Structures are given as structure tokens and as C-alpha cells.
Structure 1
Amino acid sequence: MRKRHLVVALGLLGMLCVPAHAEARDISRETLAPNDGWAAADGGTTGGAAADGAHVYTVTDRAGLVRALDGGSDTPKIIKIAGTIDANTDDDGDRLDCADYATDGYGLKKYLGAYDPRTWGSAPPSGPQEEARKASAARQAERVVLPVGSNTTIVGLGSKAVLKGGSLQVSNADNVIIRNLELRDAYDCFPVWQPNTGGLGDWKTAYDTLWLRGATHVWVDHVTASDKGHPDEKEPTYFARNYLRHDGLLDITNGSDLVTVSWSRFADHDKAMLIGNGDTATGDRGKLRVTLHHNEFESVVQRAPRVRFGQVHLYNNRYVVPDDAHDYRYSVGVSTESGIHAENNAFHTPGHIEAADLVKSWNGTALHQSGTLFNGYPVDLLAIYNAYNSGSERDLTADVGWTPTLHTKIDSAGTADREVARGAGAGRTP
């Protein structure tokens, strides 16, 4: 009996010595590790790590987030998001829908009637309904566009931090970190009809969940971005085109530079990631240097990514195309003067999608690839692309004009595939 009592006592002592739960790791002052991609170049990326105590915020609603962002000021700041923040809310926190933003007599039926190509023709929309659409769109933009200034860190607390309906915009800012946050459903209430886009016309939307525009030294890590809540595939068709409500998940444009995107998940979307926004934007030469590693692209139709001008290191990423995908177009887009260095990426697709479908070129000339897995088998994407497109498009070359030197350990595609499936996205331990 004495021995049993001693064992129990020792057990209780052990319980007293071990805390009931370990303290959660505080990532808010963490900075990008040396050599972790392009964002580690030229001094690295520290975000708001230098913030004083007065500029560390925990926010739970849109109003608090707006106050903490301080209009995109450059003051070092750390913003911790707790729970779900809905950008489509008024100053009292009440939910706003599209009808609340509509003004000046705007109505979708009126808009469709005014600009039906059968009667309006191919000229860009103009007149009362287009002016009303612009005014209504401006009202929504006032609520959902959230400017992020230099020297800022934004982190989600715990496993369920969500920014819903907002468009985080890092414009002409430097030194920004965004981590452990779900960005969901940047829904545009007022798309514009563009009759001359793509030959058949198309709907143009306004908001990316995260938009880097003229931004430098940005680290995006363990972020999940999707259309969750309002998938475009369930939207109606108008003028024989899908009525799109979402733009990009993460667009990197207008001379942005030195960006690392790691351990993030991009899902359930059409055009996921655009790097470089125009073939004529020659000022982007020497910029748009981006590293994408250990990310998952699942149920993404295209642009994962599409690259113009930039030097992009694409390694250890996982691509999943679902069995019911009927509109899949491509994953890696090689566009004007781009230099994509792709290593050890894994692709999973249904049987009707071939390896040749994974790459598409628009005026691009170069793609370095190695270590690619396609449905578990090694493939040479460059050789397959050139063989498949022989006679219809010019061949791509493996000489992209540069070799990556800033990167973490590059695993085999198979190892990375398993690790990314387990660890990418918000709510997963960074």
C-alpha cells in the first residue's frame, strides 16, 4: 500500500510540475530567416518587429483593424487578428450587403439591359447605369479596401483567424509580414462589363484578397486564400460569360519586388496569382523577384502563378486538380520576359488532364524545370511542352538567365508533397 501511495504522490507531483497547457508560440515579432527566398535579400524582412508596446494591437472587428492599420502609415506596428473580421460591416459592426452599397439608381437588371451587346454593341459601358455602378462600387471600396503600410506585421491568433470580404492592399510600401491568416471571399458587388476583353467580352472585378502593388520586402506565410462562401462557379452567366465576383487571391504587380510566399494555401478559385500585370510594363524589368515555396494550389483554374518579367523561384509546391475539374486551364504561365526556375514540384490531376496541360506560354521563352512529379511519376515539363506544342508555338528554353541562391532546404518533390499537404495554410503551426 505504501508503494502504491508513493507512486500516486509522485504522479501528482509530476502533474504539478508540468503546466496544463504550453504557452502558445508568439509569432508576431518573428522575422524572415536569412536566405528564405527573395524577401531575404538586401537587408531582409522584419515587418513590425520593432514596434513599441503602444503599437501592438489585438483586433476583433473591422473598426479595430482600420484603427490599427492607421491608414497605411509607416509606423512600426504589430496587428493580431482574433476570430473572424468581416470587412462588409458598418461602423457599428452591422453587416452590409450589396443592396446597402447600391446608389444613384443602380440595378443589375438595369445594367444588363443597358449594355446588352445585342443592342449596345462593343463600346465600353457609359451613361447613367455605368456611372451608378461606379458610385456604388466606390461605396463598397470604402469598406473593404484595407491599406497596409510599411513596417507592419499582421498575424492571426490561433487556428481560426479570418478576414472575410476584405482586400488587403500593400501599395508602395516596404517591409511587411502577413502570417497565419485566412483571407476569404473578397466579393465584388459591382463587376464591370468589358465588351472587348478576350474577344468575347468578360466581367472585370476589383478586389484581390491580397494585392502587392509597388511593394518591396514582403513575406506571406501560412496564409489561406479562397473564395469560400461565394464560389464563382455558382454565379450566373450574363452575356454568355460567367458573372465573376472575384479577382486574384494574391497578385504581385506594378514593380513589386523581393517577395517570399511560403507554406500557404490557395484554393477554390479561378485566377489565383498574377506576377506582373502587363506585357508593356517594361519598368518591371529587374523587379518582380519572387520566391514561392511549400505552397498548395488546390482547385485553382489558372495562374499558379502567371509571370511577366519577374525572376520567380518556384520550388517544393503542391498542385491538386480535383476529379470533377471541367474548366482547368493551366498551372504555370510563362509570359513576357519571365524567368521561372521551377524545382521539385508535385502535381496531382485527374486522367483527362495531361502533363502538357500544366504549362502555358504567352510570349514567354524560358522555363527551367527539374525534379517534377506528375501523379507520382517524374516528368520533364519543358520537354513535354515543347513536344506537345511543336509546330504551333515556339519552343521554350531552359536558360532563364539566372540561378537561385536564396532558398531554404529543397526537398524532393515527394517529400515536399507530403509535408505541404500536412502543413500549408492558416491554422497550421508555422
Structure 2
Amino acid sequence: MASHVTNSIIGRYVLAIVIAMVVFLPNFTYAKKSKIIGLKMNVIDKCWRSDPEWRKHRPQLATCSIGYVGKMTNNIGEGLIHYKVTDPSDDPINPKYGTLRYGASVIQGKVWITFQRDMVIRLVRPLLISSFTTIDGRGVDIHIAHNACLMIFKATNIIIHGLRIHHCKPQAPGMVMGSNGKVMPLGQVDGDAIRLVTASKIWIDHNTLYNCQDGLLDVTRGSTDVTVSNNWFRFQDKVMLLGHDDGYIRDQNMKVTVVYNHFGPNCNQRMPRIRHGYAHVVNNMYLGWLQYAIGGSMEPSLKSEANLFIAPPSGSKEVTWRKGSRANGDKWEFHSVKDIFENGASFKTTKGGYVRKPNYTKDQAFNVADAKSVRSLISSSGALRCSKTSIC
């Protein structure tokens, strides 16, 4: 018995030493690290998480994006400003140096924002993010919560990574520091976690979003070239809206990639709801819904590819919903390709069999994984809890 206990203790020490060698020795290949530690990463995460010294190479993240956003190389390179948030307070009109609003709204040009420590930031007014800004919450626990949240208004080339955004509330009209560094009037805001208005080339990756009064993510008013990846959406009625309203024709040009996200538990609808434009929804996991998972109106095109749909125990098992249109009839293009349906889930596809391709460029393209791998691909979704040493 004593010999067995001794051998068990020695075995644990050996395993700990092996893991330490894998993590901290740069000569180990990613495949060896994955095999020993048991990490199974999607293509975005493989790009940076396998580097044990990612903290020294933070801007490498900008080369890891996929889908319609393309590569975010405009956010790095010559002239990049590194800015650290040290103060969780917020002044919407005269932001102090050290606050998130100063870095995101006042500073213009390429800005890479990190955080000194764990923070809960209660924004007094919505945060308008300037073009070429990266908000990088890796390595700390950052909450944007309990009042106003994030808005991208007439801006481009923005990365939002590693934040916990929740309990966002509606805001009355008022003055706020604009994304151009000048104070401007802002109208009524509904209480979304992240709202895009006439924005382009936006990457939203590895955030945890929940419990907001309106929705978690709105892509509206001509916004396009957006990738939504590795996020965890949970505890929410209306999750993701793609397209402003039925009458906003400019959203016909909208293109959004929704990939490696975890929807649920307790999400009701809009995962996403799409109007006019095109969405490639791929390699996501849906852990139930109340009304529907994917819906739309105004002749949108949607390719659902290699997702895992797990229907709720009771109620609606149908994944899709279509809003009727007297004038246009049923002209939606909703297609399911290599999806997996569990617990009785079903997907009503458009008749005719035509499936519009994403037509990605070289910088946007990626290999779609088998839907059987989705549980592994989304296992690290949401804001990552990185160790104080190297692992993330």
C-alpha cells in the first residue's frame, strides 16, 4: 500500500515537470504541447495561444483574425501607441489620462490598450471607440458593466478582445467624447453590450456577454466586414442583430462571419437575426433556445455550416424563424450544410438547393472543421482566464 502511494506521488511530480517543460521550453512544437496538456484549439487560438510568451508579443493577435474582417494588420506596425488603463473611473466629456475612455476615444491613430490589473469599469456614457484601436483584456479580469457599454460609430479597424460585458442599460441623449476625440451629442441608446453603427472591419473575439437590457451585439446602418468569434453569449433574450431595420437598404452590403461562438445557456432568440445582408455562421455551438436560434427578414442570405444545434428539452425544436413579407414572399436564402442536430433539432432550409458561398479573399479564408469537433473548438470561448505565468 505504501509503495502504491509513493509511486502515485512520484507520478504526479513527473507529470507536473513534463507539463512545465512543455509550456516553458520554446523548442516544443505546438502539436507536442497540445498532446500533453490536452488543449484543442481552433485556428484563431492556435495563432497566438501556443506562444508561451504571448504577453511580449501582444500585437501578434492582429494577424490571427479570419472571416470577413480579414487580417487586422492596419492596427499594428509603425506608429503603434501602447496605452495602459490604470484608472477604472470614467468622465464622458473630459476623460482623464489612464482611463479607458482616454485611450479609446481621445488618442487618435494606432492604439493598443491593455489593463494594469483586474477592473470593473462602470461607464457613465457609452464608450465611442476610435478607428485603429485594439482593446486587449488578456491576462486580467475586466468587466464593463452596470450602466453604459460600447459603441463603434463611423469607425474602422477595431479589435475588442477579452472583456466581460454585462448588465448594460439604456442611456438618454447627452454629450459624450466622440471617436474623433471631440465632444459630440449622442442620441438615445438602447442598452446593448456592443453596438456597431456605420462601422467596418471590426473583430469581436473572446468576450463574455450577458444580461443586457436590449441585446448583446448589434451590427447596423451599413456596417460590414465583421467577424464575431470565440465569444460566449448567455442569459439573454435578444442576442445578436445583423441589420438595422427592414427599411434600411444599405444593409444589403453587410457581410458578417460568426464563428467558434458558444450560445447559451438561457438564450432566447437572434443568434443571429439577419436583415438584407449575408452571414456565414460556422462551427458554433447552440445550447438550446426558446423561440428560435437563427432568424431573418428582407431577403437575407445565410449559410449555416458545420454548427452543433442542441434543441431545448421542450418547446421549439426548429432552429430557424422567418418574418413574413407580403410584398416579397419567401425569398430568404437559409441553408444548412453539414450541421449536426441533437435532441430533435431541425432546420427549415430554403427550397432550390442553391447555397451562396462566402467568397472569402486569401486573408479572410479558413478551413471549416467537422461539426463533430465543435465542442472542442468552442471549449475556451468567452474571456479567457489566463494564468499569472504564461498559459492563456
TM over 0.5: yes
Q: Return the match for 1:46 from 73, 97, 119.
A: 73
1:124 alignment partner in structure 2: none
Q: How does 1:111-126 map to 2 (within 5 A)?
A: none
Contact 2:292 2:316 in 1 (8 A): no
Q: Return the match for 1:416 from 356, 374, 382.
A: 374
1:237 alignment partner in structure 2: none
* 1:335 matches 2:370: no
1:265 alignment partner in structure 2: 232
* 1:297 matches 2:263: yes
Q: Return the match for 1:161 from 133, 142, 145.
A: 142
Q: Return the match for 1:85 from 116, 120, 137.
A: 120
Q: Helix, strand or coil: the match of 1:304? A: coil
- Alpha-carbon displacement from aligned partner over 1:11-63 (angstroms, at most 9, x marks no partner): 9xx9xx989986553564135447810011xxx42363247465422344134
Q: Helix, strand or coil: the match of 1:409? A: coil
1:118 alignment partner in structure 2: none
Q: How many angstroms does 1:424 deviate by?
A: 0.7
CA gap of 1:318–1:25, structure 2 versus 1, over 3 A, is same
Take 2:353 and 2:22, find their aligned partners in 1: how far apart are those partners? 55
CA gap of 1:51–1:427, structure 2 versus 1, over 3 A, is farther
Q: Helix, strand or coil: the match of 1:25? A: helix
Contact 2:287 2:312 in 1 (8 A): no
Q: TM-score, normalised by structure 2?
A: 0.70
Q: Helix, strand or coil: the match of 1:423? A: coil
Contact 1:153 1:176 in 2 (8 A): yes
Contact 2:138 2:162 in 1 (8 A): yes
CA gap of 1:69–1:403, structure 2 versus 1, over 3 A, is closer
- Matched to 2:260, the amino acid is H
- Matched to 2:84, the amino acid is Y
1:173 alignment partner in structure 2: 155
Q: Return the match for 1:311 from 278, 303, 307.
A: 278
Q: How many angstroms does 1:169 deviate by?
A: 0.7
Contact 1:272 1:303 in 2 (8 A): yes
Contact 2:236 2:268 in 1 (8 A): yes
CA gap of 1:381–1:397, structure 2 versus 1, over 3 A, is farther
1:188 alignment partner in structure 2: 170
- Alpha-carbon displacement from aligned partner over 1:204-244 (angstroms, at most 9, x marks no partner): 971211111111111111111111xxxxxxxxxxxxxxxxx
1:37 alignment partner in structure 2: 67
Q: Which runs of 5+ in 2 are unaligned?
A: 1-13, 25-51, 91-98, 174-187, 326-330, 387-391
Q: Helix, strand or coil: the match of 1:62? A: coil
Q: How many angstroms does 1:296 deviate by?
A: 0.6
1:368 alignment partner in structure 2: 335
Q: Helix, strand or coil: the match of 1:38? A: helix
Q: Return the match for 1:279 from 243, 246, 250.
A: 246
Percent of paired sites with the same residue = 25
Contact 1:155 1:179 in 2 (8 A): yes
Contact 2:312 2:343 in 1 (8 A): no
Q: CA RMSD in A?
A: 3.2
Contact 1:367 1:398 in 2 (8 A): no
- Matched to 1:411, the amino acid is A
1:57 alignment partner in structure 2: 84
Q: How many angstroms does 1:380 deviate by?
A: 6.1
CA gap of 1:409–1:226, structure 2 versus 1, over 3 A, is same
* 1:251 matches 2:286: no
Count of residue correspondences:
310
Q: How many angstroms does 1:188 deviate by?
A: 3.1
- Matched to 1:147, the amino acid is L
Q: How many angstroms does 1:411 deviate by?
A: 1.2
Take 1:332 and 1:147, find their aligned partners in 2: how far apart are those partners? 29
Q: Helix, strand or coil: the match of 1:355? A: coil
- Matched to 1:157, the amino acid is R
1:133 alignment partner in structure 2: none
Q: Helix, strand or coil: the match of 1:382? A: coil
Q: Which runs of 5+ in 1 are unaligned?
A: 1-10, 89-142, 192-203, 228-244, 384-394
Q: How many angstroms does 1:158 deviate by?
A: 1.3
Contact 1:249 1:271 in 2 (8 A): yes
CA gap of 1:74–1:290, structure 2 versus 1, over 3 A, is farther
Contact 1:148 1:168 in 2 (8 A): yes
Q: How many angstroms does 1:372 deviate by?
A: 1.7
Q: Helix, strand or coil: the match of 2:134? A: strand
1:218 alignment partner in structure 2: 202
Q: Helix, strand or coil: the match of 1:188? A: coil
CA gap of 1:380–1:186, structure 2 versus 1, over 3 A, is closer
Q: Helix, strand or coil: the match of 2:204? A: strand
CA gap of 1:23–1:84, structure 2 versus 1, over 3 A, is same
